[in-house]
């Protein structure tokens, strides 16, 4: 792996730079320690995601983990309905307001920004989240009795709402299917590759001039 990035490493959004490619990534894609107990598939970063994005010249911008900062490292597993509370949404808005200025700088500078969430997650799901309206009370549910349903997780909903409040365009998004019950690594990789293949051509070729190597 070599350094693929071609940004300047300085504050984003300066006019002199060529259009950059920026991938907003779920916290646990760079840090599996954020996962709920028994949810970590890697020691640290989710290697295939990092490799795919770097190979294609994306800068990485890690998002905060809303669940860790709210319910802690020793939290129970939970589904969308359990996190769908005013207090958790307020917490997610605080996180969104903290990271939004950084994202806004990239978008206002005309950079290509994408979002890679974690499909199946009640918070960070993009295409799919987890659901079971019956969950609650004593944590003794039988294994795998939640549903994977189409839809955003709470954190992604609140992050997108915050960006919209700032008048920013929607960010193209997909999810890495780590929380889909059985993790299908090959399928997750194929989905991410397809998503990236649908992006416009390489940054820096839009006639703005480039100092990129």
Enumerate binding residues for another protein (CB under 8 A). Answer: 1-3, 5-12, 30-35, 37-45, 47, 50, 54, 59-62, 64-65, 68-69, 72-74, 94-95, 97-99, 101-102, 211-213
- Smallest distance, another protein to C-beta of residue 3, A: 5
How far is the C-alpha of 110 from the C-alpha of 132, rounded, in Å? 40
Cβ proximity to another protein: between 3 and 138 the closer is 3
* DSSP one-letter string for 91-145: HHHHHHHHHHHHHHHHHHTT-EEEEEEETT-TTT-SSEEEE-TT--SSS-PPTT-
How far is the C-alpha of 115 from the C-alpha of 61, rounded, in Å? 9
How far is the C-alpha of 20 from the C-alpha of 14, rounded, in Å? 11
Residue 121 neighbours by CB distance under 10 Å: 32
Cβ proximity to another protein: between 194 and 209 the closer is 209
Question: Torsion angle, CA of 168/170/173/179, rounded to 10 degrees?
Answer: 90
Tokens matching residue 7: 């940004």
Q: Which residue, among 107, 68, 59, 118, has the nearest Cα to 88 in the 3D structure? A: 68
- Smallest distance, another protein to C-beta of residue 138, A: 20
Cβ proximity to another protein: between 50 and 192 the closer is 50
- Smallest distance, another protein to C-beta of residue 189, A: 17
- Smallest distance, another protein to C-beta of residue 38, A: 5
- Smallest distance, another protein to C-beta of residue 175, A: 18
- Smallest distance, another protein to C-beta of residue 194, A: 24
The dihedrals phi and psi of 204, each to the nearest 5 degrees, come to: 85, 0
Cβ proximity to another protein: between 30 and 148 the closer is 30
Cβ proximity to another protein: between 194 and 211 the closer is 211
What does R_g of the chain's alpha carbons equal in angstroms?
A: 18
Cβ proximity to another protein: between 78 and 95 the closer is 95
């Amino acid at each position: 792996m070599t350094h693929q990035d071609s940004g300047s490493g300085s504050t984003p959004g300066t006019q002199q730079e060529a259009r950059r490619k920026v991938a907003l990534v779920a916290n646990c894609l760079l840090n599996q320690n954020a996962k709920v107990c028994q949810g970590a598939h890697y020691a640290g970063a989710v290697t295939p995601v990092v490799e795919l994005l770097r190979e294609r010249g994306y800068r990485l911008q890690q998002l905060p983990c809303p669940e860790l900062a709210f319910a802690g490292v020793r939290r129970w597993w939970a589904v969308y309905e359990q996190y769908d509370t005013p207090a958790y949404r307020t917490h997610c808005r605080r996180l969104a307001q903290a990271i939004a200025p950084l994202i806004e700088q990239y978008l206002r500078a005309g950079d290509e920004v994408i979002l890679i969430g974690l499909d199946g997650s009640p918070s960070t799901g993009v295409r799919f989240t987890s659901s079971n309206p019956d969950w609650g009370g004593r944590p003794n549910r039988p294994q795998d009795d939640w549903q994977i349903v189409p839809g955003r997780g709470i954190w992604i909903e609140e992050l997108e709402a915050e960006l919209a409040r700032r008048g920013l365009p929607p960010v193209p998004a997909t999810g890495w299917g780590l929380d889909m019950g059985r993790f299908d690594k090959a399928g997750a990789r194929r989905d991410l590759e397809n998503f990236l293949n649908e992006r416009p051509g390489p940054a820096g070729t839009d006639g703005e001039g480039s100092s990129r190597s």
